[in-house]
Structure 1
Amino acid sequence: MTTDTHTDDFRARARGVVLDAVRGLVLAVAVLPCGVAFLVLTLLSVAFVPLGVGLVTTPAVLTGVRALAGAHRRLAAEWCGIRIPAVYRPLPASGNPFRLTFALLRDPQVLRDVRWLPVAMTAGFVTALLPALLLFYPVEGFLLAAGLWRPYVSDGGTYWYAFVPVSGQGTALLAAALGAVILAVAWRLVPRLLPAHFRLARAVLGGDAELAERVRVLTETRRDAVDTSAAELRRIERDLHDGAQARLVAMGMDLGTIEMLVERDPAQAKRLLAQARRNSAEALEELRDLVRGIHPPVLAERGLGDAVRALALRLPLPAEVSVELPGRAEAPVESAAYFAVSEVLTNAVKHSGADRIRVDVLHTDGLLRITVTDNGRGGAALGAGSGLAGVERRLGTFDGVLAVSSPAGGPTLVTMEIPCALS
Structure 2
Amino acid sequence: MATEYGHGYGYGREDRGVRGARLPAGLRAPFEARSWRELGYVLLGLPIGILLFTYAVTMVSLGAGLLVTFLGVPVLAAGLAGCRGLGALERTRARALLGMRVADPEPLRVRKDGAMGWMVAVLRSGTSWRHLLYAVLHFPWAVFSFGVAVSFWAYGWALLTYPLWFWVFPLYGGQGGLQLYGDENHRIYLDNPFEITVTALVGLLFTLATPWIVRALTSVDRLLVHSLLGPSRLASRVVELESDRGVVVDTAAADLRRIERDLHDGAQARLVALAMDLGLAKEKLAQDPQAAARMVDEAHGEVKTALQELRDLARGIHPAVLTDRGLDAALSAVASRCAVPVRVEVDLPSRPAAAIEGIAYFTVSELLQNVSKHSGARSASVDVWRSENRLMLQVVDDGVGGADARAGSGLAGLAERLDAVDGILVVDSPAGGPTRVTAELPWRG
**Structure-2-length-normalised TM-score:** 0.56
- CA displacement 1:222-258 (0-9 Å, x = unmatched): 1111111111111111111111111111111122112
Q: Does the aligned pair in 2 maintain the 1:87–1:109 contact within 8 Å?
A: no
What residue in structure 1 maps to residue 289 of structure 2?
A: 266
Choose the corresponding residue for 1:115, options 116, 132, 135.
Answer: 132
One-letter amino acid of the counterpart of residue 311, structure 1: V
Of 334, 337, 348 in structure 2, the residue corresponding to residue 311 of structure 1 is 334
Unaligned runs of 5+ in 1: 1-27, 44-57, 75-84, 91-105, 129-193
**Cα displacement string for residues 96-136 of structure 1 (whole angstroms, at most 9, x for unaligned residues):** xxxxxxxxxx9x999677424432156868999xxxxxxxx
Residue 385 of structure 1: CA displacement? 3.8
2:50 paired residue among 36, 41, 51: 36
1:322-333 alignment to 2 at 5 Å?
A: 322-333=345-356
Q: Could you say if the C-alpha distance between residues 63 and 351 of structure 1 is closer, same or farther in structure 2, counting changes exceeding 3 Å?
A: farther
Q: Distance in 2 between the 1:356 and 1:309 partners? A: 15
Aligned partner of 2:104: which letter? Y
Q: What is the identity, as a one-letter code, of the residue corresponding to 2:414?
A: V
Aligned counterpart, 1:88: 104
Deviation for aligned residue 1:279:
0.9
Instruction: Give 1:418 deviation, angstroms.
Output: 0.8
**Are residues 117 and 242 of structure 1, via their aligned partners in 2, closer, same or farther at CA, if it must alter by over 3 Å?**
closer
In the alignment, the residues of structure 1 paired with residue 144 and residue 351 of structure 2 have an alpha-carbon distance, to the nearest angstrom, of 49
Q: Shift of residue 86 of structure 1? A: 5.5
CA contact (8 A) 2:348 2:384 kept: yes
The amino acid of 1:305's aligned partner reads D
1:134-213 alignment, distance < 5 Å: 205=228, 209-213=232-236
Specify the alignment match of 1:289 in structure 2: 312
Correspondences of 1:369-384 after superposition (within 5 Å): 369-383=392-406
Structure 1 pair 273–203 and aligned structure 2 pair: CA distance change class (3 A): closer
TM-score, with normalisation over the residues of structure 1?
0.59
For 1:65 and 1:310, the matched residues in 2 are separated by: 54
CA distance in 2, matches of 1:349, 1:365: 32
Instruction: Tell me which residue corresponds to 2:322.
Output: 299
TM superposition shift of 1:379: 1.1
Change (3 A) 1:228 1:29: closer
Bigger mean CA offset, 272-281 vs 351-360: 351-360
What one-letter code is carried by the residue in structure 2 that aligns with 1:312?
A: A
Check 1:70–1:401 CA distance in 2 against 1; reply closer, same or farther (3 A cut).
farther
Q: Which amino acid is the alignment partner of residue 392 of structure 2?
A: R
> Shift in Å at residue 384 of structure 1?
5.6
Q: How far apart, CA to CA, are the structure 2 residues paired with 1:300 and 1:386?
A: 30
Q: Residue by residue, what CA displacement relative to the aligned partner does 1:281-312 show, whole Å, maximum 9, x if unpaired? A: 11111100000000011111111122112111
SS of aligned partner of 2:425: strand
Secondary structure of the structure 2 residue equivalent to 1:214? helix
**In the alignment, which residue of structure 1 is the partner of 2:390?**
367
Would the alpha carbon gap of residues 112 and 309 (structure 1) be closer, same or farther in structure 2, given more than 3 Å must change? farther
Q: Hey, what's the Cα distance between the residues in 2 that align with 1:88 and 1:250?
A: 60
Q: 1:409 aligns to what?
A: 432
Distance in 2 between the 1:407 and 1:204 partners? 36
Q: For the Cα contact (< 8 Å) 2:428–2:435, is it kept in 1?
A: yes
Q: Check the 8 A contact 1:347/1:387 in 2, yes or no.
A: no
Change (3 A) 1:323 1:275: same
Counterpart residue number, 1:102: none
Shift of 1:274: 0.2
CA deviation string 1:44-73 (max 9, x = no partner): xxxxxxxxxxxxxx9999444554599999
CA deviation profile, 1:171-205 (whole Å, cap 9, x unmatched): xxxxxxxxxxxxxxxxxxxxxxx9xx99x959971
- Gap runs ≥5 in structure 2: 1-41, 58-83, 107-121, 146-216
Q: What's the CA shift for 1:32? A: 5.8
Q: 1:402 to 1:277 in 2, by over 3 A?
A: same
- Taking structure 1 as reference, are residues 204 and 389 closer, same or farther at Cα in structure 2, changes over 3 Å only? closer
Cα distance between partner residues in 2 of 1:307 and 1:223: 29
Could you tell me which amino acid in structure 1 is paired with residue 429 of structure 2?
S
Q: Closer, same or farther in 2 for the Cα pair 1:126/1:304, shift >3 Å? A: farther
Identity, in percent, stands at 43
Aligned to 1:95: none
* Number of residue equivalences: 289
Q: 1:237 aligns with which of 257, 260, 269?
A: 260
Residue pair 2:390, 2:442 contacting (<8 A) in 1 also? yes
CA RMSD, aligned part only?
Answer: 4.1
Alpha-carbon separation, structure 2, partners of 1:411 and 1:112: 52
Q: Is the 8 A contact 1:66 1:110 kept in 2?
A: no
Match of 1:217 in 2: 240
Aligned to 1:149: none
